């Protein structure tokens, strides 16, 4: 199942979730009405009808209010979810070796997969091994790990856990999970009201006059049980299958099972396991976690497959008797992940990179449209190795600038500074007017460091800075987008790199600012988006071919792939970037299968002459990013 098929499957799962939620709400309303009938059994028919209507309306109102309030609270996406359970943001410039290792792993996976680096959090008071990814889309994703995971897992094991979470990021599970939190909050709120009513008001009066209060309290307690019951069933029904997929994807990403298996075995062997101490927070995010957040759950309510079954699926030779021995070993000597790294030769900030083929820039290559389409939203071990290599090639001084709040913005601005003195002076005037003098001076100071940077590393460097850019206040984000656009246009022309950087930053910041609306899957077709799709094919064909005849040939091949049997004339765009800007909203609204067709047509256009340039590779990846179809790097 490729990225586009998974998006379609995620939509089907969302429908399943809504149906289960509706059934749960209906069951609760029926239970409420049954209680009303018992309490009002001696009343007149009109009184009973009125009471039924009032009770049903109240129940629906409480559920709707609980759902709406939670969805509003989570509208900021992954960061809001992480903060709601007490997670603490990690400073990207930290020198803590445990956190540094976590950051390095995430950066490598982000560069490898073509998504912005997520915001990172830690649950500092949780000794269990657990993690979760939250957000509506990769641009607003937040990945949280427990302190126990950082302390006890070695690098391979932590990479296996993060690979599992990246599967949720790339498979569209995060949006579904946030919706699940919102929908279930309404059901759980009704149960909470029942429990509180019984605790503080239901038992105060024991005479005949208190019996109605007691009856209502007992009824609400029953409703609380019903609500918890259906919430557990819904979470289990939606979550378990996606956990199997995430385990399989993690192994696919890392090309080894020992890391993920080792993490699961440590969960089984340690007293804390994967349990969270904060039970209120655990109930909210239990379906998001890497492992079960509570102990002793019935499989009816379990949001994850049984732990031993997960291990057995990854390691068929696994003997469950091993766990008893692990428990004895860990009781005598708890595992220390950093010490294990040192013993395995994995200690230090630089990871061990396994050899993997890398495609050289501007190389002769024939890309297969179907194969590249299959790589969208998917990581392979070669991609992961390439991402680690790209991350490792970024100079440490620039990496530091990209991971500090005070320097990330001027660093990204410095990426656009031109080599010509006159153009650079006007660009800095733009920065001074939009962002202020200190930012302009800092950007000018970083230009000397940025200028010799290999072109292949510039967009990955911007991706590392992305979470700090998204964390800026709204007015500063808007000023940054405007400044970047005006800097690119100062000399009257826009290069491919300038267009890619400005549009990727603008799209990433827009996604982070309004993650819910911008993450909704589209329903459009390539037939209805003909003008925008053809403009995109024409612009990319022209950008990759200086010879008009070669550009026309590339366009013809791509158009034939997108619209078989249809003759489409090639009209070279007078202003390709303006034409592209006019069509992004339409193209992003395409349904997943139609996006796949468009991406495959783009690959045909880019590869028509058999040469893949850095500009073409960057433009293809940028296009996929703007269509919310993350593509791994094609050059290194």
Q: What is the pLDDT of residues 483-539, one digit of tens each?
A: 999 999 998 888 888 999 999 999 888 888 877 777 777 788 988 888 899 989 998
| Tokens 């590393």 sit on residue | 457
- pLDDT of 486 reads 94
Tokens 């149960």 appear where? 191
The 10s digit of each residue's pLDDT in 172-188 is 777 777 777 777 777 77
Residue 566 CB contacts under 8 Å (≥ 6 apart), including other chains? 559, 560
612 or 133: whose pLDDT is higher? 133
Residue 606: pLDDT band with limits 50, 70, 90: confident
Residue that has been written with the tokens 């091994």 in this structure: 129
Element (H, E) at 612: strand 611-612
The CATH architecture to which 80-174+247-344 belongs is 2-Layer Sandwich (3.30)
* Residue 379 β-bridge partners: none
| Residue listed under structure tokens 């913005």 | 409
Domain extent listing, the chain = 3-76+177-234, 80-174+247-344, 357-405+454-481+488-636
What is the predicted pLDDT for the residue at 47?
Answer: 86
Token pair belonging to 162: 């993060």
CA distance 436 to 614: 33
Residue 254 has pLDDT above 60, yes or no: yes
**Average pLDDT, rounded, for the chain:** 81
3-class SS of residue 290: coil
At residue 452, what are phi and psi to the nearest 5 degrees?
-80, 0
Quick one: average pLDDT of 354-379?
A: 55
Mean pLDDT of all residues in 245-253:
76
Whether 276 shows a pLDDT value over 90: the answer reads no
**Widest Cα–Cα separation across the chain:** 95
Q: What is the mean pLDDT of residues 599-618?
A: 84
Answer whether residue 633 shows pLDDT above 70.
yes
For 561-590, the pLDDT digits (tens) are 999 988 888 888 788 888 888 889 999 999
123/146 Cα distance (integer angstroms): 5
Out of 165, 340, 486, 552, pick the active-site residue: 165
Does residue 138 or residue 297 have the better pLDDT? Answer: 138
Stated length of the chain: 636
Mean pLDDT over residues 363-367, rounded?
A: 52
How distant, in Å, are the alpha carbons of 261, 292, 313, 516 from that of 258? Answer: 5, 20, 12, 36
3-state SS, residue 245: helix
Contact 140, 515 (CB under 8 A): yes
Residue 93: other Cβ atoms inside 10 A? 18
Q: For 48-57, 125-134, 397-406, which range has the lowest pLDDT when averaged over its residues?
A: 48-57
* Position 218 confidence tier, pLDDT thresholds 50, 70, 90: low
pLDDT score recorded for residue 357: 38
Confidence (pLDDT) at 344: 76
pLDDT value of residue 363? 45
Whether residue 480 has pLDDT greater than 90:
yes
Kindly provide the residue ranges of all beta strands, DSSP E only, lying in 409-502, ordered along the sequence: none
Residue 611 has pLDDT above 60, yes or no: yes
Q: What is the pLDDT of residue 359?
A: 40
Cβ neighbour number for residue 24 with a 10 Å cutoff: 22
Mean pLDDT of 452-459: 87
pLDDT tens digits, one per residue of 30-64: 877 887 888 777 888 888 888 888 888 888 888 88
Look up 165 and say whether it is catalytic. Answer: yes
Residue 461: is its pLDDT beyond 80? yes
């Amino acid at each position: 199942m490729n990225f586009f098929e998974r998006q379609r499957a995620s939509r089907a799962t969302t429908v399943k979730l809504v149906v289960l939620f509706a059934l749960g709400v209906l069951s609760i309303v029926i239970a409420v009405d049954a209680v009303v009938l018992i309490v009002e059994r001696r009343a007149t028919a009109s009184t009973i009808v009125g009471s039924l209507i009032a009770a049903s309306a109240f129940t629906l109102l409480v559920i709707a209010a609980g759902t709406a309030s939670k969805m509003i609270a989570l509208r900021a996406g992954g960061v809001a979810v992480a903060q709601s359970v007490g997670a603490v943001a990690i400073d990207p410039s930290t020198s803590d070796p445990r956190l540094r290792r976590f950051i390095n792993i995430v950066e490598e996976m982000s560069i490898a997969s073509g998504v912005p680096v997520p915001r990172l959090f830690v649950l500092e008071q949780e000794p269990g091994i657990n993690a979760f990814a939250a957000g509506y889309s990769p641009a607003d994703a937040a990945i949280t790990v427990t302190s126990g995971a950082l302390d006890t897992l070695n690098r391979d094991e932590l990479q296996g856990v993060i690979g599992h979470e990246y599967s949720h990021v790339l498979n569209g599970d995060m949006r579904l999970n946030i919706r699940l939190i919102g929908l279930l909050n309404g059901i759980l709120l009704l149960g909470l009201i029942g429990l509180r009513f019984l605790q503080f008001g239901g038992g105060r009066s024991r005479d005949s006059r208190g019996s109605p209060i007691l009856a209502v309290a007992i009824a609400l307690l029953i409703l609380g049980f019903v609500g918890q019951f259906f919430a557990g069933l819904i979470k289990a029904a939606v979550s378990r299958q996606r956990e199997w997929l995430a385990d399989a994807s993690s192994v696919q990403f890392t090309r080894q099972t020992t890391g993920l298996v080792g993490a699961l075995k440590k969960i089984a062997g340690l007293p804390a396991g994967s349990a969270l101490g904060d039970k209120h927070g655990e109930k909210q995010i239990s379906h998001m976690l890497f492992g079960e957040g509570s102990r002793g759950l019935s499989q009816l309510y379990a949001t994850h497959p049984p732990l031993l079954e997960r291990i057995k699926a990854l390691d068929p030779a696994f003997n469950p008797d091993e766990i008893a021995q692990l428990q004895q070993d860990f009781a005598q000597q708890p595992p220390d992940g950093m010490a294990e790294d040192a013993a395995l030769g994995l200690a230090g900030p630089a990871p061990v990179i396994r050899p993997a083929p890398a495609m050289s820039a501007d190389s002769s290559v024939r890309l297969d449209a179907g194969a590249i389409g299959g790589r969208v939203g998917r990581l392979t071990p070669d991609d992961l190795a390439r991402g680690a290599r790209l991350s490792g090639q970024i100079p440490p001084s620039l990496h530091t600038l990209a991971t500090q709040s005070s320097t990330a913005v001027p660093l990204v601005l410095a990426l656009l500074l031109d080599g010509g003195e006159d153009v650079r002076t006007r660009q800095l005037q733009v920065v001074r007017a939009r962002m202020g003098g200190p930012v302009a001076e800092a950007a000018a100071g970083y230009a000397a460091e940025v200028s010799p940077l290999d072109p292949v590393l510039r967009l990955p460097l911007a991706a590392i800075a992305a979470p700090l850019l998204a964390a800026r206040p709204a007015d500063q984000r808007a000023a940054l987008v405007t400044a970047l656009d005006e800097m690119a246009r100062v000399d009257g022309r826009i290069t491919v790199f300038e267009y890619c950087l400005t549009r990727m930053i603008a799209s990433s910041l827009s996604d982070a600012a309004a993650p819910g609306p911008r993450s909704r899957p589209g329903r459009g077709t390539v037939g209805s988006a003909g003008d925008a799709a053809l403009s995109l094919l024409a612009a990319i064909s022209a950008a990759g071919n200086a010879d008009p005849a070669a550009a026309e040939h590339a366009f013809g091949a791509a158009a034939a792939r997108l619209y078989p049997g249809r003759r489409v004339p090639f009209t070279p765009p007078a202003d390709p970037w303006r034409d592209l800007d006019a069509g992004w909203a339409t193209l992003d609204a395409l349904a997943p299968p139609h996006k796949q067709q468009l991406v495959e047509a783009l690959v045909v256009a880019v590869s028509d002459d058999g040469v893949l340039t850095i500009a073409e590779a960057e433009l293809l990846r940028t296009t996929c990013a703007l269509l919310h179809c993350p593509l791994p790097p094609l050059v290194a």
